[in-house]
Amino acid sequence: MEKGEIAILTGQFGALVLVILLFSNFVPGGASADALSTPTIGAVYWGPVSAGVQLARGGTTTVTTNATTVTVDYALAFSTTPASVTGTRLCANVSPNDYGQELVYTNFTVDYKTDSFTFVPTSQPLGAQCTYTLQLTDSLQQPTIWEGTVVLKNASAN
């Protein structure tokens, strides 16, 4: 090859690399920050979203009605899916002779259309202070944890 041909090929190769780098920023899931973002747990509701009782992340929420489900909104990075969901409830002040009860949840329903999941049962004991800990892990094995406490007073349902 002659020097002129080598220079032309080098220039064309360099231009191709620049075009690929430029357009990769516009392709979903390309070289964007989404590929590196972690999952998040957003709002957590005592019951269905329509009930409107949002639980405080890292805080305590007092409720007067027991819920049959807890609904959790989440967000994931582009092209990832939930790989696992775990949850526990640790209750204090259950009864005078009981220092605490732990419940490990195994029944989760994931709704991929609304990016939410629910778990059952709550059936929280009246007067108990229960801390709920939820962990969502995405298909890239990136976890996120949410924790909040619920106090049930004067329950009108089980």
pLDDT at position 34: 43
Q: Supply the pLDDT for residue 17.
A: 67
Nearest to 61 by CA among 129, 158, 156: 129
CATH code (residue 141): 2.60.40
- Does residue 157 form part of some domain? no
Eight-class DSSP state of 66: -
Same domain, 21 and 68: no
**2 and 46 assigned to the same domain:** no
127: left (phi over 0), alpha (psi -120 to 50) or beta: left
Nearest to 72 by CA among 148, 151, 157: 148
Residue 94: give the domain boundaries.
36-152
Q: Which two tokens stand for residue 150?
A: 């619920």
From first to last of its 158 residues, the chain has per-residue pLDDT tens of 677 777 776 777 666 666 676 666 555 544 444 455 789 999 999 998 988 899 999 999 999 999 989 999 999 988 899 999 999 999 887 666 666 788 899 889 999 889 999 998 778 888 888 999 999 999 999 999 999 999 998 755 44
Residue 41 lies in a domain: yes
